[in-house]
C-alpha cells in the first residue's frame, strides 16, 4: 500500500512562473492537507480539502495560491507568478477521516520549490 505520493520532489522556477505541485493521498484516504515548511521552521497549515471541496483554506495566501482535489486524480497546489519568498518545502498529508477526531495524518516526502 503506497504512502502519500508527491511530485515533483524538486522544482525550480524563475520569478513570475507558475508552480504546480501534485499529491496522491494514501489509498482509501479522502482528506488531503497541504502544509508549507520554511528552512528550520515548523510546518504551517495551508489548506484542507476533501474530494471536490475546499474545507478550510485559512492558511493559504489569498492571492496567487490555489488548491484543488478533483473527483479523479491527485490534489494540486498551484502557485502563480512565483516569488522568491515562495521557496519552501510543501508537504501533503492525507487521512481517512476528518481530523476533528484523531484522524492521524500521513505525510508525503514533500516537494521542494526553489524560486530563482
**Minimum CB separation from another protein for residue 95, in Å?**
10
**Minimum CB separation from another protein for residue 2, in Å?**
14
CA distance 52 to 73: 11
What is the maximum alpha-carbon separation in the chain?
Answer: 41
For 65-78, b where at least 16 C-beta lie within 10 A, e where not — what string? bebbbeeeebbbbe
**Minimum CB separation from another protein for residue 100, in Å?**
5
User: Between 27 and 66, how does the x/- string for binding to another protein read (CB under 8 A)?
Assistant: ------x-x----xxxxxx--x------xx-xx-------
Give the Cα-Cα-Cα angle 51, 52, 57 (nearest 5 degrees).
95
CA distance 96 to 82: 32
**Minimum CB separation from another protein for residue 32, in Å?**
11
User: Between 1 and 30, how does the x/- string for binding to another protein read (CB under 8 A)?
Assistant: ---x--------------------------
- Rounded to a whole number of angstroms, the CA Rg of the chain reads 13
Binding residues (CB under 8 A) for another protein: these are 4, 33, 35, 40-45, 48, 55-56, 58-59, 91, 93, 98-100, 102, 104-110
Amino acid at each position: 500500500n503506497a504512502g502519500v505520493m508527491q511530485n515533483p520532489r524538486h522544482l525550480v522556477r524563475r520569478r513570475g512562473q507558475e508552480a504546480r505541485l501534485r499529491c496522491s493521498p494514501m489509498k482509501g484516504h479522502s482528506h488531503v492537507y497541504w502544509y508549507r515548511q520554511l528552512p528550520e521552521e515548523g510546518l504551517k497549515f495551508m489548506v484542507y480539502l476533501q474530494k471536490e471541496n475546499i474545507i478550510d483554506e485559512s492558511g493559504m495566501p489569498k492571492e496567487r495560491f490555489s488548491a484543488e482535489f478533483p473527483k479523479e486524480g491527485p490534489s494540486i497546489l498551484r502557485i502563480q507568478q512565483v516569488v522568491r519568498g515562495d521557496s519552501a518545502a510543501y508537504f501533503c498529508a492525507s487521512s481517512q477521516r476528518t481530523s476533528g477526531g484523531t484522524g492521524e495524518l500521513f505525510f508525503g516526502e514533500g516537494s521542494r520549490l526553489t524560486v530563482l
